Chains A and B, each alone.
Chain A
């Protein structure tokens, strides 16, 4: 409940300052249009559209998700948070915030994407949705803990993708594979191994984050 109140504070603050949202929306537009320009009138394969989708998602995530912690650090309100909430509450609240942000962002991206690219046809939509949900949880949780690290380090903007990429890569590779499967129309049963990998990844990252967040938070 405390985490939920913290989350509500963040949402209200975000709505007022538009710290992350504006950057995110513009970033989505920019990446998608860059892809469109580079493709031109070329016809690209289905697999490639599937891959490009995750490229757009990764870079958009990198542009906006660090805000949860960086905004507190930049304004110097970290100490206030220290005084009103335990580390667990803080992390859960920020995680909730990033989850909402990731889901909103990725749903927008996926919708836009399927409108723009005719060749992006998913034969097995339910598999894609399952993978999408699990993937979003994974992206949100690992980007939250990396954002916490980044906020305490010096050069915030540039370091974020550098640190996140190796951590997110197993997730993205599995998601690419799953997207390929759902383009091919494979059933959920056939992609059992990949889905398990996603779940394991989420469990591992979340556990590690909750255990380690204390050390980041208290300096």
Chain B
């Protein structure tokens, strides 16, 4: 359906003269679920942050292509949904207000139907007017999914998608990921077997470089 591609070429990240990874090259060229795994400290989170354009790379390039068109860095955020344990939403607003503000700042119409549907799916509908301050970490994690899915992104980047979630939360997430995968590129950075089993292909990060797995990319 959508012909979005994420191309990574010779990506290198150095933090204060310390090498995180070097010369990573791959391409996510089809919709579906793609995985990134590797030991703690192998640079998974750094890699997904670079993919999402939150931090810059030291060398190499990440290209997001929509059809033939390159997406410029200042438009990139419109096409990306991102969920991670270290993502924080505004504490002083309720879930509803958080989502409203985000919509306005992105300048996309507030799709009430979709938001209500998602709120119901993630069992937050009844608490939608409570301040996020009072949420448990699992609830916050679920809210982040709504935040990430609300604007129908072309790329969904999930860093440790199931952290803090109970088993019913996990099931909802898997269900949603699988339905999203039909129309978007879903990238999962995780070490959990159950997360990775969903993926069509997994990239292994190890000792500064990348090891291919399964079929070639």
Direct contact of A and B (CB under 8 A): yes
Which chain B residues lie closer than 8 Å to A80 at the CB level?
Answer: 87-90, 102, 147
B13, chain A: closest CB distance, angstroms: 12
In angstroms, Cα B134 to Cα A47, docked, is: 53
- Does A219 contact B77, Cβ atoms closer than 8 Å? no
Q: Which of A1, A8, A76, A83 contacts B54 (CB 8 A)?
A: A83
- What are the interface flags for A1-27 relative to B under an 8 Å C-beta threshold, 1 for contact and 0 otherwise? 110011011001100110000000000
In angstroms, Cα B87 to Cα A154, docked, is: 20
Q: Which of B55, B84, B107, B147 contacts A5 (CB 8 A)?
A: B107
B181, chain A: closest CB distance, angstroms: 20
Q: Which of B54, B55, B74, B91 contacts A86 (CB 8 A)?
A: B74
- Which residue of chain A is the closest to B88 with respect to CB atoms? A76
A92, chain B: closest CB distance, angstroms: 11
- Does A2 contact B105, Cβ atoms closer than 8 Å? yes
Q: How many A-B residue pairs have CB under 8 A?
A: 75
- The verdict on B119 contacting chain A, using a C-beta distance below 8 Å, is no
- Does A83 contact B105, Cβ atoms closer than 8 Å? no
- Does A77 contact B101, Cβ atoms closer than 8 Å? no
B155, chain A: closest CB distance, angstroms: 12
- Does B107 contact A75, Cβ atoms closer than 8 Å? no
- Does B104 contact A83, Cβ atoms closer than 8 Å? no
- Which residue of chain B is the closest to A17 with respect to CB atoms? B92
- The verdict on B82 contacting chain A, using a C-beta distance below 8 Å, is yes
The residues of A with any CB-CB pair to B shorter than 8 Å are 1-2, 5-6, 8-9, 12-13, 16-17, 75-77, 79-80, 82-89, 93, 218-219
Further 13 A-B residue pairs, CB within 8 A, beyond A79-B88, A86-B77, A218-B53: A9-B90, A9-B104, A16-B92, A77-B90, A80-B87, A80-B89, A83-B87, A84-B106, A85-B105, A85-B106, A86-B75, A87-B74, A219-B56
